Amino acid sequence: MSDDQVRFSLNETDLPRFWYNVNADNPVAPAPVLHPGTKEPVTPDFLSVLFPMELIQQEISTERYIEIPEEVREIYKLWRPTPLMRARRLEKALGTPAHIYYKYEGVSPSGSHKSNTAVAQAYYNKMAGTKALTTETGAGQWGSALSMACQFFGLDLEVYMVRVSYNQKPYRRILMEVNGAQVFASPTDRTNAGRAALEQNPDTPGSLGLAISEAVEVAAMSNNTKKYSLGSVLNHVLLHQTVIGEEALKQMDMAGEYPDVVVGCVGGGSNFSGLAFPFIRQNLREGARTRLLAVEPTASPTLTKGIYAFDYGDSARMAPIVKMYTLGHDFVPPAIHAGGLRYHGMAPALCSLYDAGHIEAVAVKQADVFDAAVQFTRTEGILPAPESAHAIRAAIDEALAAKALGEKRVILFNLSGHGHFDLTAYQEYLSGSMTDSSYPDEAVQNIKDHLPEISLDAVP
């Protein structure tokens, strides 16, 4: 490695041919997915109302590697492999002996890592004969990615966008509409779930859980004319994101280093898992000792303050019940700018690894996140999405900790998307009007009162 090298790039021939399935190596047996009505383990027939069978098979698979279809790989080549960068200017500004690397997913056409699973899900739906999809989106990264993918495969798309983000981030909505999607501010009066939420609170900012309810309801009531597509949480989504970590392993080898800590923001868990899971494989199978650090907002601290229990994946209790860290399915988070992290739960596979001690987690404040984002922009020249800036905050904290100890520390984080459509958030930060929100400690005691009652007999 050159002393001044900052970019480590792979060729198209290095594009991964397989996704990595962490379920093959997870020492914790997966908990069953339960029917929201009967609370018994779901059947493929139930899931087939929402998903094509190939994605259902990926959801339950324990195969270590699943081949990426050639048509998906060809579309991936529009932006993959993505670059691995060393943040030398940030290191210098911090005066740290740490080496800071980041995998930059903002080079995708939609501007974030979400395209990795959007293309795959659109492909499998197209192969199954699906004509239209429904989905939710928080900050709009997922909706932007799926609208692009639907255009590639000739699918119609309805997007239920969390109301506060719909208002805060109009340009992401416009990008979805450019790609032919219909975008609605959730909650809407188009669904039973939306009407019930509006009746209870006409001024609700909405939530990802509620937007999921609307999208699931539309798909479930469509007489099989529409399927539902999810941007995070479920195993097949995390699986598709592992192209990030597989590339990063090769690129860290090019750099002649191996990370002591891998960092990513978490809302539902997809971008963190996409980078971290291949490194978890190396820990579990090859004896590596990399720390995996998940970073979430103090306003929605699912891992750091939630409880590990069975809960609905959505607010209206239409989505399956899964075992995860949760703040309760009816949790409505404050209107922070990191809309993609405002979810009550977390990916079950990630949660099981966290509960077993294979993953660490930390919660950070919004103002501190934007402090880090601005420092990163001024040193590295890339404006990060507010979600991605949570990882930057933790990476900087790790680098400063290394400085205090006088030790070298190799840090790798996922810069999961750019913030070009988030300038109103930066305007609020620069004006000094940004506020912080934290989930109150006393609320933790009440979470269990908001969870479904699950009979132990129903759980194998």
The predicted-structure confidence for 186-234, as pLDDT tens digits, reads as follows 999 999 999 999 999 999 988 888 898 999 999 999 988 999 999 989 9
The token duo for 134 is 């429904």
Which of 367, 352, 218 lies closest to 273, judged by CA?
Answer: 352
The pLDDT of residue 304: 95
Amino acid residing at 225: T
Same domain, 54 and 175: yes
Provide the β-strand partners of residue 264.
Answer: 294
Number of folded domains that form the chain: 2
- Give the predicted TM-score (pTM) of the model: 0.94
Residue 284: helix, strand or coil by DSSP?
helix
- For 423-434, what is each residue's pLDDT tens digit? 988 999 999 988
Same domain, 223 and 157: yes
| pLDDT-wise least confident of 65-69, 104-108, 200-204 | 200-204
The DSSP 8-state label assigned to residue 17 in this structure reads: S
Same domain, 168 and 265: no
Domain end point (choices 176, 208, 234): 234
Q: Which residue has the tokens 């601290």?
A: 301
Same domain, 351 and 255: yes
Same domain, 370 and 230: no
Measured CA distances, 361 to 333, 340, 345, 404 (Å): 19, 17, 14, 21
CA–CA separation, 232 and 324 (whole Å): 13
CA–CA separation, 351 and 353 (whole Å): 5
pLDDT over 60 (residue 20): yes
Same domain, 286 and 151: no
pLDDT over 80 (residue 337): no
> The domain that contains 208 carries what CATH number?
3.40.50.1100
Give the mean pLDDT of 150-177. 94
Length of the chain: 460
The pLDDT of residue 338: 57
The DSSP 8-state label assigned to residue 68 in this structure reads: P
Q: Which domain holds residue 203?
A: 18-67+114-234
CA torsion sign for 141, 144, 149, 152 is negative
Same domain, 165 and 243: no
